[in-house]
């Protein structure tokens, strides 16, 4: 009888430690997102490339946004909703990307 109780206990512990297989269903409150799809304003801001940043009214640009001067260190965190404007040495817009 004691061995049976130990066996049942071990089976219960092993069953509790097993992983649940994903059924493929998602939470109804969330939609699957394409991680490569830009959600920032960069595609609409490509007209800035080549312009001097001093001639651009950055207050009117969509937020969140960061302007990165040439040679400046930045964090590598990716935010799909943030637009990043990279500048050349002479403060011209080199590229506009999400992140």
CA trace torsion 48, 49, 54, 59 (10° rounding):
30
- Helix residue ranges, H only, 21-99: none
What does DSSP assign to residue 81? T
pTM, entire model: 0.61
Rounded-to-integer distance, Cα 61 and Cα 16, Å:
53
Determine the pLDDT at residue 30.
Answer: 47
Class of domain 39-99: alpha beta
3-state secondary structure of 22: coil
- pLDDT, mean of each 10-residue run, the chain (99 residues): 66 62 52 65 96 93 95 92 96 96
Determine the pLDDT at residue 58.
Answer: 87
The domain spans of the chain are 39-99
């Amino acid at each position: 009888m004691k061995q049976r109780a130990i066996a049942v206990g071990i089976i219960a512990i092993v069953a509790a430690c097993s992983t649940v297989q994903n059924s493929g269903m998602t939470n109804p409150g969330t939609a699957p997102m394409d991680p490569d799809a830009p959600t920032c304003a960069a595609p609409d801001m490509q007209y800035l490339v080549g312009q001097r940043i001093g001639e651009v009214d950055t207050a009117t640009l969509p937020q969140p946004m960061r302007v990165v001067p040439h040679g400046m260190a930045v964090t590598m965190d990716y935010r799909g909703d943030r637009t990043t404007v990279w500048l050349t040495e002479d403060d011209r817009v080199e590229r506009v990307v999400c992140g």
